[in-house]
Amino acid sequence: MIKKVPFCKVVCDGNELKYITEVIESGWLTTASKTTEFEKLFSKYVESKYACAVNSCTAALHLGLEALGVQRGDKVFVPSLTFTASAEVIRYLGADPVFLDVDYDTKLITPEILKQAVEENPDIKHLILVHYGGHPADLIREKGDGILDICRANNIKIIEDAAHAFPAKIGDKFVGNIGDVTCFSFYANKTITSGEGGMLTTNNEDIYKRVKTMRLHGINRDVWDRFTSDKPSWEYDVVAPGFKYNMPDVTAAIGLAQLERAEDLRLGRQKAVELYYKHLSGLDMVDLSKNTVPFEDHAWHLFTIVLNEKSKIGRNKFIEKLSEKGIGTSVHYKPVHLMTYYKEKYGVQSALSNTEKIWNGTVTLPLFPSMTEEEVIYVCDTIKEILK
């Protein structure tokens, strides 16, 4: 009889230790060959031309916006239903976020939402697109305009926040090979982890070169290049006041081991999600997220439900009751535009009614690769019991 289901459980029993040992024995603990290997294999996986490993997805987003030329006083579209990192990086550059609403069923920015926002704000030239929960947003549509078409037509650059979306696909393309820049997270609870870490992918050589320079102090050669090329190792130039965002090899070692099993881990989560849909469909008081892509194309990072107005119990009480039954949950997200800093600085910019409706009722249920059928059923039965 199950009494406890954690919110998340990290699977770290592949080659992680072996690769870490290799790094320690190599004597080179910061950015070196393991990081280069991780970048190569990651870009091969998502079929992007370039990949740049950094120490967080937040760093990748910052570097991506910087390389795309976002400047002080610019405005950048971003959904409010996201982690604060997606918006804070806009402020790093002195630019201002313009928060967009999302579709209630998918929790994503849709081409329709974007089209309207572009009409109202023709001066905005950058979009941060979040693939919420691992569900790839509608960048490319078979019929009609996808987000990519709208952006191209209006000269808007896209930076994808794919912190939830590895591995995920849109048609025959991987997320990471579509927008101008894509940023991934390897934070401890993400779909693959390196403890802390991130990756930026792009097909644009200029962006790649800029990011590579800016991730390490604006130095025009990275440390590894300096010690492996035949030019004197002490010689380097600084072309901009860059940042300190490089990924150490110990971190890359963990990432490499995780990358090898990314599809296995994804499939483990997918199986749990299939069971959730089976056991939670048809409950009056619960709105499930609508999945619009093939199950295999979704990264399945989060499984969220929304308690709707028919529910007699509020979200916070519901979470307490689940916790009493040993079930770990979370909330994704308290919208960024409702956070004190953004509220005080920008006020509530426009009606984000779906975002607020989701926020009022949303709960994220446990989801991890090794989750058993018994565990999913325990969570579902407990939910039915609470809502009875």
Ligand X SMILES: *Cc1c(COP(=O)(O)O)cnc(C)c1O
199 touches ligand X (CB under 6 A):
no
CB of 179 vs ligand X, minimal distance in Å: 15
Residue with tokens 């905005």: 124
Single out the segment in contact with ligand X by CB under 6 A; choices: 39-47, 81-89, 136-144, 217-225: 81-89
Q: Where are the beta strands (DSSP E) in 211-275?
A: none
- With CB under 6 A as the contact rule, the residue among 70, 81, 98, 130 that binds ligand X is 130
Q: What is the dihedral of CA 34, 36, 42, 48, to 10 degrees?
A: 180
101 touches ligand X (CB under 6 A):
no
- With CB under 6 A as the contact rule, the residue among 31, 43, 80, 82 that binds ligand X is 82
Residues 114, 127 contacting (CB under 8 angstroms): yes
Chain-centroid distance, C-alpha 235: 37
161 touches ligand X (CB under 6 A):
yes
Single out the segment in contact with ligand X by CB under 6 A; choices: 77-85, 203-211, 214-222, 370-378: 77-85
* Dist CA 232 CA 157 (whole Å): 39
- With CB under 6 A as the contact rule, the residue among 179, 198, 255, 366 that binds ligand X is 198
85 touches ligand X (CB under 6 A):
yes
Query: Quick one: 139 or 280, whose CB is closer to ligand X?
Result: 139
Burial 187-203 (b: 16+ CB within 10 A, else e): beebbbbbebbbbbbbb
Query: Quick one: 213 or 251, whose CB is closer to ligand X?
Result: 251
* Dist CA 291 CA 276 (whole Å): 13
362 touches ligand X (CB under 6 A):
no
User: Is residue 271 annotated as part of the catalytic site, yes or no?
Assistant: no
Helix 249-259 vs helix 16-26: angle between axes, to the nearest 10 degrees?
150
Terminus-to-terminus CA distance in the chain, angstroms?
21
Query: Cis peptide leading into 236, omega within 30 of 0?
Result: no
Single out the segment in contact with ligand X by CB under 6 A; choices: 94-102, 110-118, 156-164, 320-328: 156-164
CB of 59 vs ligand X, minimal distance in Å: 7
Query: How many other C-beta atoms can be found within 10 angstroms of the C-beta atom of residue 74?
Result: 17
- With CB under 6 A as the contact rule, the residue among 43, 106, 185, 202 that binds ligand X is 185
Residues 43, 166 contacting (CB under 8 angstroms): no
Residues 81, 335 contacting (CB under 8 angstroms): yes
163 touches ligand X (CB under 6 A):
yes
CA distances (Å), 68 to each of 49, 61, 71, 209, 258, in order?
Answer: 17, 10, 9, 12, 30
Single out the segment in contact with ligand X by CB under 6 A; choices: 56-64, 201-209, 349-357, 372-380: 56-64
* Dist CA 299 CA 276 (whole Å): 15
Query: Quick one: 86 or 270, whose CB is closer to ligand X?
Result: 86
Residues 266, 300 contacting (CB under 8 angstroms): yes
57 touches ligand X (CB under 6 A):
yes
- With CB under 6 A as the contact rule, the residue among 38, 45, 77, 83 that binds ligand X is 83
CB of 22 vs ligand X, minimal distance in Å: 24
- With CB under 6 A as the contact rule, the residue among 31, 35, 56, 258 that binds ligand X is 56
Query: Quick one: 163 or 280, whose CB is closer to ligand X?
Result: 163
- With CB under 6 A as the contact rule, the residue among 86, 191, 202, 329 that binds ligand X is 86
Triad 71, 75, 77: Cα angle to 5°: 125
Q: Which of 115, 190, 209, 271 is catalytic?
A: 190
58 touches ligand X (CB under 6 A):
yes
CB of 61 vs ligand X, minimal distance in Å: 7
187 touches ligand X (CB under 6 A):
yes
Chain-centroid distance, C-alpha 234: 37
358 touches ligand X (CB under 6 A):
no
Q: What is the dihedral of CA 365, 371, 372, 374, to 10 degrees?
A: -30
Residues tagged active-site: 190
Which residues contact ligand X (rule: CB under 6 A)?
56-58, 82-83, 85-86, 130, 161, 163-164, 185, 187, 198
